[in-house]
């Protein structure tokens, strides 16, 4: 097993709850709003 394979094998696996949240429509709508807000803040800075 290479170092890279070992490192991947030891990486944290998302829990079932995390995987559900990643697909949950209600939760993802809030993440969509939060991420786009953060992105707009960044874009605003980039334009100065």
Q: Which residues are at the interface with other proteins (CB under 8 A)?
A: 2, 4-5, 7-9, 11-14, 19, 21-23, 25, 28-29, 31-32, 35-36, 38-47
d(CA 30, CA 11): 27
d(CA 12, CA 39): 27
d(CA 38, CA 48): 16
Query: Residue 3 CB, nearest distance to other proteins (Å)?
Result: 9
Query: Residue 2 CB, nearest distance to other proteins (Å)?
Result: 8
């Amino acid at each position: 097993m290479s170092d890279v394979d070992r490192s991947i094998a030891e990486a944290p696996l998302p829990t079932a709850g995390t995987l559900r949240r990643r697909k949950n429509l209600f939760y993802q709508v809030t993440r969509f709003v939060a991420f786009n807000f953060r992105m707009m803040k960044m874009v605003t800075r980039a334009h100065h």
